């Protein structure tokens, strides 16, 4: 089932085009990362689909239009954790549950999941940023929603907080729920998401499974005492797609089917003895930079 479909969504703030003609489809079970630099339109997109911001144009549909109020089936955090500061964790969660039409219940299991059970009687205003963020994640899970939305979930957290939140997000992603996550942190998206959409200046540059966004080229880092000789030799190989001279090594791009283990033998046969060889897949950061730079 299509969980979300947007058609030609756009948002203008005066002359500034925050979002332009966004067409996006997110299917059930996907962990979808919206990736983009600051100011690329990620939060604007989430704001529109959560009915907080009014779109200047286009439309969107949740759950193929099945439900009158789809937001009751969605748990979401937009930008910051938003709670009443003078209430404690449990009182704040009770409000969320009442909004979601869930009769009073025990919130201990939610608070335990995010490691806040011991502070459930403390006022929200006394929480650290990491605790606030964790409470917000607990709130999104109330009512077992079909879709969870997180906006820059590790923003502003210390390393320990980041690790904790990532751990929780990984657990949520493993529950087979549909997750939509905006982030400018590539490693976060790469580790957690199955699908990704790349936004820049309000325009969607690419979208699809993380594997399809990542090119299937192999990247080989290689070096030898005679760097120039090695470089010249590599240029003669027919399988080599691209050669980039790095400070520490030469980066060689070859097709996926290329047998990299043969490379050292081929070099040795040409009397070039390599002293550095690393074979790896392209990472999202490289693709992201390539895509956003090409888009200017």
Partner 1 sequence: MNILRLLQIEYLKFKSNSVIRLLVILYLIFLPIAIFMGKELDELPDFILSADVFFTFPEKAGEQGIWDYMGYIGNWMSYFFLGVVAIYILGIEINNKTLRQSVINGLTRKEYFLSKLSTIVLISVLASLYYGLCTLGIGWIHTEGATLSQALTNEWAMSRYFLMCMGYLSFAFLIIVLFRRPAVSVFLYLSYVLIIEFGIRMTLIYFKVPPEWTKYFPMNVVEDLHPFPAFKIPAAKMGPDYIKEILLSYPESALVSSLYIIIFIALSYRMFMNRDI
Count residues contacting partner 1 (CB under 8 A)?
29
Site string for partner 1, 3-42 (x = CB under 8 A): ----------------------------------------
Q: Is 126 in the site for partner 1 (CB under 8 A)?
A: no
Site string for partner 1, 50-79 (x = CB under 8 A): xxxxx--------------x-xx-x-x-xx
Q: Is 279 in the site for partner 1 (CB under 8 A)?
A: no
Given the rule CB under 8 A, which of 89-97, 192-200, 241-249, 267-275 is the region that contacts partner 1? 89-97
Q: Is 107 in the site for partner 1 (CB under 8 A)?
A: no
Q: Is 114 in the site for partner 1 (CB under 8 A)?
A: no
**Residue 151 β-bridge partners:** 182
Q: Where are the beta strands (DSSP E) in the chain?
A: 2-13, 16-27, 31-35, 57-62, 74-76, 147-151, 178-183, 195-200, 203-209, 218-223, 242-245, 250-254, 276-281
Q: Is 128 in the site for partner 1 (CB under 8 A)?
A: no
Site string for partner 1, 130-149 (x = CB under 8 A): ---------x----------
By beta-carbon proximity to partner 1, the closer residue of 13 and 273 is: 13
Report, in angstroms and rounded to the nearest whole number, the Rg of the chain calculated over CA atoms.
24
Parallel, antiparallel or unpaired: strands 203-209 and 218-223:
unpaired
Give the integer Cα–Cα distance in Å for 215 and 286: 10
Q: Provide the b/e sequence for 185-223 (b: ≥16 CB within 10 Å).
A: bbebbbebbebbbbbbbbbbbbbeebeebbbebbbbbbb
* Residues lying near partner 1 in the complex (CB under 8 A): 47, 50-54, 69, 71-72, 74, 76, 78-80, 82-87, 91, 94-96, 98-101, 139
């Amino acid at each position: 089932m299509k969980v979300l479909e947007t058609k030609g969504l756009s948002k203008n703030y005066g002359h500034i085009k925050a979002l332009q003609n966004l067409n996006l489809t997110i299917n059930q079970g996907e962990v979808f990362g919206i990736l983009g630099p600051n100011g690329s339109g990620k939060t604007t997109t989430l704001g529109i689909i959560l009915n907080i911001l009014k779109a200047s144009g286009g439309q969107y549909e949740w759950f193929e239009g099945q439900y009158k109020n789809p937001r009751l089936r969605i748990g979401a955090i937009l930008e910051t954790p938003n709670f009443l500061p003078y209430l404690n964790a449990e009182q704040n969660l009770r409000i969320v549950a009442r909004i979601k039409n869930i009769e009073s219940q025990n919130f201990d299991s939610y608070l335990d999941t995010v490691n806040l059970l011991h502070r459930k009687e403390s006022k929200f205003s006394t929480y650290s940023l990491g605790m606030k963020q964790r409470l917000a994640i607990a709130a999104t899970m109330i009512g077992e929603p079909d879709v969870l939305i997180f906006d820059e979930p590790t923003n502003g957290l210390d390393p320990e907080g980041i690790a904790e939140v990532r751990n929780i997000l990984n657990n949520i992603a493993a529950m087979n729920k549909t997750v939509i996550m905006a982030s400018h942190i590539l490693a976060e998206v790469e580790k957690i998401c199955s699908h990704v959409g790349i936004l820049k200046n309000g325009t969607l540059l690419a979208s699809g499974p993380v594997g399809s966004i990542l090119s299937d080229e192999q990247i080989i880092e290689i070096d030898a005492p005679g760097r120039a000789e090695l470089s010249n030799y590599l240029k003669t190989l027919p399988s080599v797609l691209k050669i980039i001279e790095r400070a520490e090594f030469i980066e060689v791009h070859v097709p996926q089917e290329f047998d990299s283990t043969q490379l050292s033998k081929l070099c040795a046969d040409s009397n070039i003895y390599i002293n550095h060889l690393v074979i790896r897949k392209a990472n999202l950061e490289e693709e992201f930079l390539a895509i956003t730079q090409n888009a200017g």
